[in-house]
A and B are shown apart, each in its own frame.
Chain A
Amino acid sequence: METTSMIHLDNIVKRFYEHQENELEILHGISLDINEGEFVSIVGESGSGKTTLMNIIGILDRPTEGTYILDGISIADAKDKELSHIRNQKIGFVFQTYNLISRTTALKNVELPMLYAGVPQKERRERAEHFLEMVGMKDRMTHKPDELSGGQKQRVAIARALSNNPSIILADEPTGALDSETGRTIMDIFHKLNYEQGKTIVLITHSKELAEETGRIVTIQDGRIVSERVK
């Protein structure tokens, strides 16, 4: 299929311990297209293979077989260094456990992806402040992660994910460690980013409730897509 989609997965297979006795096939041929500006949720129980799929979409891992084209770039034949660059430029990660660097301030955390992209100091700072303001964290930007609440940390993490203007935001259980009220504000930020700025967002979750909020729900079970529902 000739594609204009943001994410194009074609017959993705992922095997671990290949050619060994304990060889394990986690994904059995997944094909999925996600278009620009979509808000898609990938739902599955633990052990369904959704984390493995997320790792492949986030280019933290390579598929064993199949084609993955992200924003027009084929991932299969890219070198490690190119993969780092693509991750840096095209993908904004939001993790369940925030994964902020604890020794530095919120501001420095948001600047980090831009640092690896080679953005000059002054511009880095301006952009970081801009995105922190967007998530309502500008007044606390000089605080270190230890001095922030869970919801605040996740908002900093979202600002960090946005800092290089990525093609997609990949959120792995972003509200998993938060109480429902705080989780709500985080989901609101995602909706706002998707609605107002047309950001492509992929939400990985096991919560059917959260998935219901998104535009399309892809359900994974035993390494296969079992249902796909557009709302």
Chain B
Amino acid sequence: MLFLFWENIILALNGLRSNIMRTLLTMLGIIIGIASVIAIMTVGDSINGTVTSSMESIGANNITVSVSRVESEDEEITSTGRNFGSFSRNASMSDDDYITDEMIAEFRSEYTDSIQGIFLSESVGSGTAEDGDLSSSVTITGVNSDYLENEELTIVAGRTFTDRDQEESRKVVFVADDLVDTMFGGQYFDAIGEVIDVFIKNRYYQYTIIGVYEYEESSSIAATSDSTELPTTVYLPLYAAREETRSTTGFSSFTVATATGVDSTEFCDTIEAFFNNNYYRNNEDFEISTSSMESMLSSLTEMVSTISMAIAVIAGISLLVGGIGVMNIMLVSITERTREIGTRKALGATNSSIRTQFIVESIVICIIGGIIGILLGIGIAAIATNVLGFAVQPSINGIILSVTFSVFIGVFFGYYPANKAAKLNPIEALRYE
């Protein structure tokens, strides 16, 4: 009976072609429904894919610990406030509100097993390294040894900071090979021991180069700006940097990398409890809050899936209405073709072949609607992801789901009309005017 099925498809296409306007209007519900499903799934997949991969490159086991304002009772915010609360800091913090070296040392010794590293940094600023006519743009960042280790830089020449460099706040720097290429003609070993002048905000700083690392363009930055103008990082021992910036207070934030096997979401709570119970218990304005990549990731995923859910409901309603539209038009079409059905029966069509004919017609309407919907949905998603700045990833699952669902709607809403057609009495059908 396969060829009969094929004939039915051609028959259905012929029938639909002779009534294009009506067919399109009938399909509209299906088209809108499928298009919204595809659009949201594609946008969701694209956002998830892009964000997850970029966040994972930063480090999923990193926890940012920061001082944040205590939220007052009347502006109670949802749990996500914990993650983004850190943005409201700096609002008139006094010296006592900062995180001190003692606190960090205390914390490190308390949770040695759970901590892979504690990253502290101090930004001195961006400027240019200058030597006569030669110049190269740089950013100077003071870092502790955990921070530098975590960067996993490849040493080309010289060495990184020793503990004494750190302890004595020596004005020594670890620079990128790109910088040496520009300033010293690529003689990496000759550069060791040389002094460079860095000009930042009307001030000259002088540093001795002790090491050269291999510069790697970070993929996320490279994608957004022209690589030739990118400043390279000049690393300085943390306290040397803090002397330059004249920072006398503690830190407003630092980053903890958890050891492997530690649940970073759980460890966030441990960190908050440790600091808030030991040091911030009597602080009315500030407390310690944490955010991990993992928790940001999961709250983002949660947000996307909530939006997806809402649109899925709309899409579901649209598909239901579309399906009812298909059923309606099938009933009209069957009434119009009552004589045809009678004739077919007189010529030997069985009830089941009549039923098949109309179900196939209904499926064809829904699949064509579905395909138009898929194309439209991908189009909408492509525009949306473009605006949002993500790469489009058409959702294969969404497409398979949509086609399957279209067929299902076709069968479900086509069955009743088709069955009605199949059960028509041939005599009455032939006599129908």
Number of interface residues of A (CB under 8 A): 29
Contact of A103 among B4, B18, B348, B430 (CB under 8 A): B18
> A residues 81-133 with Cβ under 8 Å of B?
81, 84-85, 87-89, 93, 95, 99-104, 112-113, 115-118, 120-121
Residues of chain A within 8 A (CB-CB) of B15 are 103
**Given A99-B430, A115-B7, A120-B3: A81 and B350 within 8 A (CB)?**
yes
Q: Which residues of B contact A164 (CB under 8 A)?
A: 348
Q: How far is the CA of A115 from the CA of B352 in the complex (A)?
A: 14
For A98, give the chain B residue with the smallest CB separation: B343
**For B4, B18, B427, which residue has the most chain A Cβ atoms within 10 angstroms?**
B427
Contact in complex: B348, A117 (CB < 8 Å): yes
Question: By the criterion CB–CB under 8 Å, are A84 and B427 in contact?
Answer: no
Question: Which chain B residues border A104 with CB–CB below 8 Å?
Answer: 11, 14
Cβ contact within 8 Å between B427 and A113: no
Is B427 a contact of A61 with CB atoms below 8 Å?
yes
Q: Nearest Cβ in chain B — how far from A21, in angstroms?
A: 21
Q: Mark A192-211, 1 if CB is under 8 A from B, else 0.
A: 00000000000000000000
A102 to B14 Cα, complex, angstroms: 11
| Closest chain B residue to A166, Cβ basis | B348
Scan residues 34-93 of chain A and give those whose CB is less than 8 A from a CB of chain B.
Answer: 55, 58, 60-61, 80-81, 84-85, 87-89, 93
| Known pairs A60-B430, A103-B14, A120-B3; A112 contacts B346 (CB<8 A) | no
Interface of chain B residues 1 through 30 with chain A (CB within 8 A)? 1, 3-4, 7, 11, 14-15, 18
Inter-chain contacts of A85 with B (CB < 8 A): 348, 350
Cα separation A55 to B433 with both chains bound (whole Å): 18
Is B134 in contact with chain A by the CB < 8 A criterion? no
CA separation between A101 and B3, bound complex, in Å?
19
| A27 smallest CB distance to B (angstroms) | 14
Contact B348 A88 (CB under 8 A): yes
Q: How far is the CB of A94 from chain B (nearest CB, A)?
A: 10
Does chain B have a CB within 8 A of A8?
Answer: no
Beyond A80-B351, A99-B339, A116-B353, whether A60 also contacts B346 by CB under 8 A is: yes
Chain B proximity of A197: nearest CB distance (Å):
20
Is B343 a contact partner of A99 (Cβ separation < 8 A)? yes
Question: A117 vs B7: C-alpha distance in the bound complex, in angstroms?
Answer: 13
How far is A115 from B348 in the complex, measured between Cα atoms in Å? Answer: 9
Asked whether B427 lies within 8 Å of A60 as measured between CB atoms, the reply is yes
In the assembled complex, which residues on chain B have CB atoms less than 8 Å from the CB atom of A84? 345, 348-351
Tell me if B91 is interfacial: C-beta within 8 Å of chain A.
no
B340 at the interface (CB under 8 A from A): yes
Chain B at the A interface: mostly helix, strand, loop or mixed?
A: helix
- B427 touching A93 by the CB < 8 A rule? no
Contact B18 A115 (CB under 8 A): no
Q: 1/0 per residue B401-433: CB within 8 Å of A?
A: 000000000000000000000000011001000
Interface residues on B, range: 20 to 34
Contact B347 A116 (CB under 8 A): yes
How near does chain A come to B87, taking the closest CB pair, in angstroms?
Answer: 66
- Least distance between A95 CB and chain B CB atoms (Å): 7
In this assembly, does B89 line the interface, its C-beta being within 8 Å of a C-beta of chain A?
A: no
Residues A121 and B3 in contact in the complex (CB < 8 Å), given A60-B427, A95-B430, A99-B343: yes
Task: Tell me which residues across on chain B come within 8 A of A55, comparing CB atoms.
Answer: 427
CB of B82 closer than 8 Å to a CB of A: no
Residues of A within 8 A of B346 (CB): 58, 60, 87, 93, 99
In the complex, whether B108 has a CB less than 8 A from a CB of chain A is no
* Alpha-carbon separation in the docked complex, A103 to B342 (Å): 15
Chain B residues within 8 Å of A155, by CB: none
Taking the closest CB of chain A, its distance from the CB of B428, in whole angstroms, is 10
Residue in B closest to A170 when the chains form the complex, CB atoms:
B346
| Bound form: Cα–Cα A40–B430 in Å | 23
Report whether A116 and B430 are in contact in the complex, using a CB–CB cutoff of 8 Å.
Answer: no
Question: Could you tell me the distance between the alpha carbons of A197 and B405 in the complex, rounded to whole angstroms?
Answer: 54
Q: A89 near B348 (CB under 8 angstroms)? A: yes
Chain B residues closer than 8 Å to A87, beta-carbon distance: 345-348
Is B170 an interface position by the 8 A CB rule? no
CB of B430 within 8 A of CB of A115, answer: no
How many Å lie between the Cα of A114 and that of B351 in the bound state?
17
Residues of A within 8 A of B353 (CB): 116
Q: What 0/1 readout, one digit per residue, does chain B (180-214) give for beta carbons within 8 Å of chain A? A: 00000000000000000000000000000000000
Question: Measured between alpha carbons, how far is A69 from B3 in the docked complex, in Å?
Answer: 32
Given contacts A93-B346, A95-B430, A116-B347, contact A101 B340 (CB under 8 A): yes
Q: Does A153 contact B (CB under 8 A)?
A: no
Distance (whole angstroms) from the CB of B9 to the closest CB of chain A: 13
- Complex Cα gap A58–B342 (Å): 13
In the bound complex, residues from chain A placing their C-beta under 8 Å from that of B11 are: 103-104
CB distance from A183 to the nearest CB of B (A): 21
* In the bound complex, CA of A61 to CA of B342 (Å): 12
A115, B4: Cα distance in complex, Å: 7
- Chain A proximity of B85: nearest CB distance (Å): 67
Closest partner residue, chain A, to B8 (CB atom): A115
A102–B349 Cα gap in the complex (Å)? 17
Identity of the chain B residue whose Cβ is nearest the Cβ of A101 in the assembled complex:
B340
- Select from chain B the residue with minimum beta-carbon distance to A120: B3
B347: chain A residues within 8 A (beta carbon): 87-88, 93, 112-113, 116, 160
B114 CB, nearest partner CB in chain A, Å: 74
25 contacts between A and B (CB under 8 A): A60-B345, A60-B427, A81-B350, A81-B351, A81-B352, A84-B349, A85-B350, A87-B346, A87-B347, A87-B348, A88-B347, A95-B430, A99-B339, A100-B343, A101-B340, A102-B340, A103-B14, A104-B11, A104-B14, A113-B347, A116-B347, A116-B349, A116-B350, A117-B348, A120-B3
The 4 closest A-B pairs by CB, nearest first: A88-B348, A84-B350, A99-B343, A116-B348
